């Protein structure tokens, strides 16, 4: 199945509210656990950059899991960040998580480089996927853990529809449609591997996990 791009920003209040209130316990807890498993041999500290943070659930989970980190979390959708600010305040993490409205590649980040780079479900929104990989290459300190999780494209629209019906049962219609569109817009493992090779990041590994996700992980090389 060929990729079908979707809008880069999810900036309607209906979309943002549905996403902020949806049950992402399974994939988001998996994100944290997979990060722990990948970098289990070390202590995670310092400044973290979360690219495409949405309503900040991953940022909050990461801050709780790694209490010696502070997080700069950037997203291009103001409505997503509106809900993110509410969630960060409710979690009592406003001193450690800074939410930044910015659109890659021009987002004004507080720091030139970061000790850790993470991202969840940003890649499939990008019409030019190299924007993400250029940001990773530019912003990661030498040796920084890099961990990117995203959807992977199913083999057919029928399979995408089955996954939508299975994973979003009981969710609002807008979330169901967005998930279906995101599956069609996602990249394959081979496509992501080609992106990494093009950007000189093929030292990062890419692998499929479960039926709907892929993970790119590894350490940044010296510039």
Class of domain 13-218: alpha beta
The answer on pLDDT for 65 being more than 80 is yes
The answer on pLDDT for 57 being more than 80 is yes
What distance in Å separates the CA atoms of residue 84 and residue 202, rounded to the nearest whole number?
A: 33
What is the bridge-based pairing of β-strands 213-219 and 116-120? unpaired
Residue 80 contacts residue 18 (beta carbons within 8 Å): no
Q: What is the pLDDT of residue 196?
A: 98
What distance in Å separates the CA atoms of residue 102 and residue 74, rounded to the nearest whole number?
A: 6
Q: Which residues contact 210 (CB under 8 A, 6 or more apart)?
A: 30
Collapsing DSSP to helix, strand or coil, 150 comes out as strand
The mean pLDDT of the chain is 93
More confident call, 12 vs 85: 85
How many CA atoms, within 13 angstroms, populate the side-chain half-sphere of residue 186? Answer: 28
Least confident of 126-135, 140-149, 169-178, 211-220: 169-178
**Mean of the pLDDT values across residues 112-118?**
98
- 24: nearest Cα among 58, 68, 70, 50: 58
């Amino acid at each position: 199945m060929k990729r079908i791009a979707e809008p880069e920003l999810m900036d309607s209040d209906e979309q943002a509210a549905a996403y902020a209130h949806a049950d992402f316990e399974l994939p988001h807890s998996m994100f944290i656990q997979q990060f722990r498993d990948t970098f289990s041999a070390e202590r995670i500290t310092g400044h973290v950059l979360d690219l495409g943070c949405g309503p900040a659930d991953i940022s909050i989970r990461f801050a709780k899991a790694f209490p010696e980190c502070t997080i700069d979390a950037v997203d291009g959708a103001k409505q997503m960040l509106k809900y993110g600010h509410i969630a960060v305040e409710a979690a009592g993490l406003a001193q450690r998580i800074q939410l930044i409205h910015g659109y890659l590649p021009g987002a004004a980040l507080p720091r030139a480089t970061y000790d850790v780079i993470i991202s969840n479900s940003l890649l499939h929104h990008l019409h030019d996927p190299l924007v993400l990989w250029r940001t990773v290459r530019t912003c990661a300190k030498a040796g920084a853990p890099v961990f990117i999780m995203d959807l992977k494209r199913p083999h057919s629209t029928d399979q995408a529809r089955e996954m939508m019906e299975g994973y979003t049962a009981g969710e609002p219609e807008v979330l169901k449609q967005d998930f279906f569109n995101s599956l069609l817009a996602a990249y394959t493992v081979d496509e992501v591997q080609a992106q990494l090779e093009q950007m000189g990041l093929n030292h990062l590994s890419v692998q499929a996990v479960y039926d709907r996700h892929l993970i790119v992980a590894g350490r940044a090389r010296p510039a």
